[in-house]
Copies of this chain bind each other. A is one copy, B any other.
C-alpha cells in the first residue's frame, strides 16, 4: 500500500498528518479508513489521521473511536439532512495534545476556545442557531428510523442505482467494487456525449438536478446523489428522469435501467427488509 511505503520512508517524521476523504463525492468512491489506520499503526508512524466524513456521516458506517481516527470533519448538509452552514469536529486525545503544542497561528478555528465555551453549553462566537434546531430534529429522525436501518437503506439504494447504470450499459467512475459509495454514484456518459448537456435536458424537462463532473471529469460525468431523506420512490423517480433524459437527449443507452433498479429494490419472493 502506497501510504505504508510513504510513511515508512519518512524516518524523520516530517509528515504530521494523513488526510483522507471517507467518501469522495466527485468520484463516488469510499476509502477504507480502518485499513488505512492499520497500515499507519504497522509503520509505527506518529502522524495524525484526519478524515473528511462530510458526505458519509449519518449515511454509512463510520467509527471515529474504533478506527482510531484523530480528527473527523463532518457537516450538516449531507446525511444530516439540514441546510449547509454547520460543521463539526470529533477529536482524539492525541489530536488535542498536538493542538496544544502546535505553533501555527489560528483564531476562529481554534479548538480550545470552542471546547472551553461548550463545557457550559455556549459557543465562543455566534453560532448558526437555526441549523442547531434543525440538527436536533434530524438526529431525532435518524434515531426513529434506527441508525443501522439508515445505513442499510443507503446501501440498498446504492446497489439499485448501480444495477440501473449497468443495465443502461454505462460505466461507473469508481472501478473498485469494495470502494463503491453508498451516497453518490458518478457515471460516465458514453464516449463523446456531453454530460452537462444531458444534465441540462434532465433539469429542464424533469426538474431534476444531477451533480456535474468536477475537475478533469467535467463534461464527461454526471453524479447521482442518493442520500439523506430519500426513499425507494424518490430513487426510482430519479432514475426515471435519467433514463427519459437520455432518450430525449439521444444519449445512446440500453433501456431498462429503472426496471433493473426496481427488481433490486423489491425482488420477487424476498422480503424488502432483508439486505439485498
Contacts of A126 in B (CB 8 A): 75, 77, 84
Q: Which of B129, B206, B232 contacts A244 (CB 8 A)?
A: B232
Copies per complex of this chain = 4
**Is there contact, CB below 8 Å, between B237 and A266?**
no
What are the residues of chain B within 8 A of A247 when measuring CB–CB?
A: 266, 268
- Docked complex: A193-251 residues within 8 A CB-CB of B: 205-208, 231-234, 236-238, 240-241, 243-244, 247-248
Tell me the bound Cα distance from A105 to B109 in angstroms: 13
Selected interface stretch from A16-24, A38-46, A255-263? A255-263
A258 touches B266 (CB 8 A): no
Once the chains bind, are A131 and B85 in contact (CB under 8 Å)?
yes
* Residue from A126, A129, A231 whose CB has the most chain B CB atoms within 10 Å: A126
Q: How far is the CA of A239 from the CA of B234 in the complex (A)?
A: 12
Considering only CB atoms and an 8 Å cut-off, how many residues of chain A contact the other chain? 42
Q: Contact between A130 and B266 (Cβ–Cβ < 8 Å)?
A: no
Q: How far is the CA of A159 from the CA of B205 in the complex (A)?
A: 18
A272 within 8 A of B: yes
Partner of A238, one of B84, B108, B233: B233
**Chain B residues, Cβ within 8 Å of A265:** 244
B205, A232: Cβ atoms under 8 Å? yes
Chain B hits for A234, CB < 8 A: 237
The 8 Å CB contact of A128, one of B128, B232, B259, B266, is B128
If A105-B105, A233-B241 are given as contacts, then 8 extra A-B residue pairs at C-beta distance below 8 Å, sorted by A number, are A85-B131, A232-B244, A233-B238, A233-B240, A234-B237, A244-B266, A247-B266, A248-B272
List residues of chain A with CB under 8 Å of any chain B CB.
75, 77, 83-85, 104-105, 108-109, 126-131, 205-208, 231-234, 236-238, 240-241, 243-244, 247-248, 255-256, 258-259, 262, 265-266, 268, 271-272
